[in-house]
Amino acid sequence: MIRSMTGYGRGESVLHDRTITVELRAVNNRYLDCSVKIPRLYVFAEETIKSQVQKKVARGKLDVFVTIDSTAADKVAVSLNRPVADGYYAALTQLRDTYDLRDDISVSLLSRFPDVFLVEKEQGDADVIAQDISQVLDLALEDFNAMRAREGTKLAEDVRSKAGNIAALLAQVEERSPKTVAEYREKLRQRMEEVLANTQLDESRILTEAAIFADKVAVDEETVRLHSHLEQLEDMLAQGGAIGRKLDFLIQEFNREANTIGSKCSDVEMARLVVEIKGEIEKIREQVQNIE
- 116-147: pLDDT as tens digits: 888 766 556 888 899 999 999 999 999 999 99
- Kindly report the CATH number assigned to the domain that includes residue 44: 3.30.230.10
Q: What is the pLDDT of residues 226-251, one digit of tens each?
A: 999 999 999 999 998 999 999 999 99
Give the mean model confidence (pLDDT) for residues 66-87: 81
- Kindly report the CATH number assigned to the domain that includes residue 272: 1.20.120
21 is a domain residue: yes
**254: exposed, middle or buried (Cβ count in 10 Å: 0-12, 13-18, 19+):** buried
Q: How many domains does the chain have?
A: 3
One domain, residues 145 and 167? no
Q: What is the pLDDT of residues 148-179, one digit of tens each?
A: 999 999 999 999 999 999 999 999 988 877 76
Q: Report which of 76, 90, 83, 84 is spatially closest to residue 115, judged by C-alpha positions.
A: 84
pLDDT for 263: 79
One domain, residues 15 and 134? yes
Q: What is the domain extent for residue 48?
A: 7-72+125-149
pLDDT for 177: 73
Report the alpha-carbon distance of residue 85 to residue 237 in Å, rounded.
74
60 is a domain residue: yes
Q: What does the longest C-alpha to C-alpha distance in the chain come to?
A: 148
pLDDT for 190: 59
1 is a domain residue: no
> Per-residue pLDDT for 77 more than 90?
no
One domain, residues 11 and 143? yes
One domain, residues 129 and 178? no
One domain, residues 19 and 132? yes
pLDDT for 208: 63
One domain, residues 208 and 130? no
214 is a domain residue: yes
One domain, residues 16 and 144? yes
One domain, residues 217 and 246? yes
Which band of pLDDT confidence, cut at 50, 70 and 90, is reported for residue 10?
very high
2 is a domain residue: no
One domain, residues 257 and 242? yes
One domain, residues 144 and 268? no
271 is a domain residue: yes
One domain, residues 36 and 145? yes
181 is a domain residue: yes
One domain, residues 154 and 273? yes
Give the mean model confidence (pLDDT) for residues 17-42: 93
